[in-house]
Structure 1
Amino acid sequence: MTGLDQDMMQKNLTCRSLKEAQKNMFWFTIVLTFVNLIFLGLGVLLTEYAISTGIDAHKDALFPTIALQTKMGIGLGLVFILGLIAAAYSSADSALTSLTTSFSVDILKIEERYEVKKQNLLRKLIHVSFSVILILVIVSFEYLIKDDSVINKLFTFAGYTYGPLLGGLFSFGILTRLKVHHIATPFIAVASPFIAYILSWLALEMFGFEFGFFILLLNGAVTFIGLLTASLFTKN
């Protein structure tokens, strides 16, 4: 998923050529794999520590409970909390930058429609607006996730949002040379998550099968089939 979003793209903007950008993405992928393994290992160690010391905390409460309610001391607890805040700010910063840039340039096309002074004003207003929306989304998670963990819900939502990107647009563009009319593409991408949700609900009700994180594959397959069908009505 990281290789397809604007956050990853921005890491390649300083590369002087396509070859350098490809090299950057290749090595970044390797580094990111090891970083994820390290954090996965740290998570396992924290869980084992909680079990061995009798700490009764689960899911999202595990990290802050170990940081603040153990004998590690206030200093180490503050380091834990600062690290958590730093990680949150890092993710929020890149997300806000991506959302602001995409909405301003791709949707509103402010560089084509407005002068520089008004562009700056609009960017600031859009940035503040997305900040407020992000805060509301974070607060709403308290009521949406219920007894589930944030990361589980996050991957579930990502299955719906990244399905059209991974399974449809990316895979369809790489594996085929077929053309789809540009008007049909956004409708297919928007409709696919709803179709995938209905299919997953039917599978659960009729067969007792829950897709879980595999909703990403189902969503991508629906998008791919939709694009393939649309290509039959497009002159290639």
Structure 2
Amino acid sequence: MSPAALFSVVLAYFALLLGVAWLTSRNANNDSFFIGNKNSNWMLVAFGMVGTTLSGVTFISVPGAVGRDGFGYLQIVLGYVLGYLAVAYVLLPLYYRLKVTSIYHYLDVRLGRRAYQSGAAFFILSRTLGATARLYLVVNILQATILDSLGVPFWATNLVILLMILLYTYEGGVKTIVWTDTLQTTGMLLGLVVCTGWLLHRMDLGLLDSLARMEAAGLARVLTLDVDSPSYFWKQVLAGMAITIAMTGMDQEMMQKNISVSTVGNSQKNMVALTVILVGVLALFLFLGGLLHLYAPLAGLSGPGASGDKLFPAVVMGHMPAAIQLIFFIALVSALFPSADGAITALTSSFCIDILGLQRRAGLDERARTGLRHRVHLGFCALFLVLVMVFKWIDSASMIGVILKLAGYTYGPLLGLFAFGILTRRTVRDRWVPLAVLAGPLLCWLIDRNQALLFGSYKLGLELLIINGLLVMAGLFLISSPARALGKTG
């Protein structure tokens, strides 16, 4: 299919998103933007969150990594399941009991204003870096497969896509994103199923035959029992659990959609449904990755241009028929927008509420609050534009590794703050909290840089997030004292 035809599909998809945004944002106000007026349908939220959770990184990087790691990602997925259950039955009841708009309000109630601001600041840093890394991955593929041949520069592609996202999130916020995420998840899963089916048909394989071939090729290995390996089973499980608790349960973007559901019971149903769907979808992505690696030698694909993140696009664009290329691009664009739309909305919400104190400013009327929110929204879009260009300059071979590394440093403080608040009853000296929170990532960096000296052959992997959280907890313990009867909620 020609680049011009594929580009027209992208524009048509965007027009559909704008139509959904127009329908859902009529009569929207600040409550619609921040928490969807507390009347989101839990089934829509659950299904739509699949797309947000996976994004373009899973769509491209997880299949591409099968050649290196086999099905080892399932170890992390097991940790995800445990993490989602903890979010559903520990954190969600806490947020609903406090009736929060921003989940970092819990830190204000439990630990104090500096802890609240520190948590919000680390969320803003974490989500900004993670979302722009995800966005870069998919924009770069669109650029390489369509827009380079049309003579469009990368910066222009980046600018236009962010303007598109700005247009359909500007008014409706969460109220709109609940619906657009549902549409985008549908598009992503359609591409996954169709591409998997085509590869099975092309190689004349059934499900059991293909798994046997993957096993023979060393692509289906799951367990890593070498304690020194970064992929050791228990490290992956515990890290997966910590990643989910921190990157979902302590992340305003993910929780903003959950707390837009009317009751905690329905929000818990949403989280359990998300867990079940997500496990099935991730297993299918790994299966697709195995098929791609079986097919690549048959199609004569080899070298850096057909490995890692580049494998899936290379197979689709070089060997699949035009109709499936079209479906792939619908899926790719569907994976692109959840990488940024919910992030920009949540970042706007957190910055307005947690940093600027929008809800505490009694002198501002609804119109003034809306104007301030619009300016912040525009500011984050501009920041995303700059950071995507920075990732283009860096250009890593596997963005999922970059994103998980960033998460280890930036979500660790959130994990430490929330865990300290929930697991202890101690009172912190509020003014020293930012120092304790910053010390954790700094010490983690020093540990990471000196692994060989400290641990010998043992190699740190995703457990860096847990270490970071424990260091922050230790720092908070040092600046705390036994609880006094201050009416705190824990």
Question: TM-score under structure 2 normalisation?
Answer: 0.44
Which residue does 1:157 correspond to in 2?
Answer: 406
- Does residue 316 of structure 2 align to residue 67 of structure 1? yes
Deviation at 1:205, TM superposition (A): 5.3
Give CA deviations for 1:97-130 in whole Å, capped at 9, x if unaligned. 1101100111112233333222222222211211
Of residues 285, 297, 301 in structure 2, which corresponds to 1:39? Answer: 285
Give the secondary structure class of the aligned counterpart of 1:11.
helix
Deviation at 1:142, TM superposition (A): 2.6
Q: Distance in 2 between matches of 1:175 and 1:110?
A: 30
Stretch moving more, 91-100 or 179-188: 179-188
Which residue does 2:332 correspond to in 1?
Answer: 84
Give the secondary structure class of the aligned counterpart of 1:69.
helix
Stretch moving more, 37-46 or 149-158: 37-46
8 Å contact from structure 1 (residues 162, 216) kept in 2? yes
Deviation at 1:180, TM superposition (A): 2.0
8 Å contact from structure 2 (residues 412, 469) kept in 1? yes
Q: Residues 104 and 203 from structure 1, CA distance in 2 versus in 1: closer, same or farther, beyond 3 angstroms?
A: same
Q: How does 1:121-136 map to 2 (within 5 A)?
A: 121-136=371-386
Which residue does 2:434 correspond to in 1?
Answer: 186
8 Å contact from structure 2 (residues 413, 469) kept in 1? yes
Which residue does 1:10 correspond to in 2?
Answer: 256
Give CA deviations for 1:86-106 in whole Å, capped at 9, x if unaligned. 111012111111101100111
Q: Residues 172 and 31 from structure 1, CA distance in 2 versus in 1: closer, same or farther, beyond 3 angstroms?
A: farther
Q: Which amino acid aligns with 1:69?
A: G
Which residue does 2:444 correspond to in 1?
Answer: 196
Q: Distance in 1 between matches of 2:420 and 2:298?
A: 49
Give the secondary structure class of the aligned counterpart of 1:228.
helix
Which residue does 2:268 correspond to in 1?
Answer: 22
Q: Residues 53 and 15 from structure 1, CA distance in 2 versus in 1: closer, same or farther, beyond 3 angstroms?
A: same
Q: Which amino acid aligns with 2:394?
A: L
**Higher RCO (C-alpha 8 Å, min separation 6):** 2
8 Å contact from structure 1 (residues 203, 210) kept in 2? yes
Q: Distance in 1 between matches of 2:330 and 2:378?
A: 24
Q: What is the number of residues matched between the two proteins?
A: 232
- Does residue 341 of structure 2 align to residue 93 of structure 1? yes
- Does residue 366 of structure 2 align to residue 116 of structure 1? yes
Deviation at 1:190, TM superposition (A): 2.6
8 Å contact from structure 1 (residues 145, 153) kept in 2? no
8 Å contact from structure 1 (residues 64, 81) kept in 2? no
Q: Distance in 2 between matches of 1:27 and 1:75?
A: 32
Q: Distance in 1 between matches of 2:389 and 2:457?
A: 32
Q: Residues 139 and 205 from structure 1, CA distance in 2 versus in 1: closer, same or farther, beyond 3 angstroms?
A: farther
8 Å contact from structure 2 (residues 408, 464) kept in 1? yes
8 Å contact from structure 1 (residues 141, 150) kept in 2? no
Structure 2, unmatched stretches of 5+, are 1-246, 485-490
Q: Which amino acid aligns with 1:38?
A: L
Of residues 130, 140, 147 in structure 1, which corresponds to 2:390? Answer: 140
Structure 1, unmatched stretches of 5+, are none
Q: Distance in 1 between matches of 2:410 and 2:274?
A: 23
Of residues 424, 429, 433 in structure 2, which corresponds to 1:176? Answer: 424
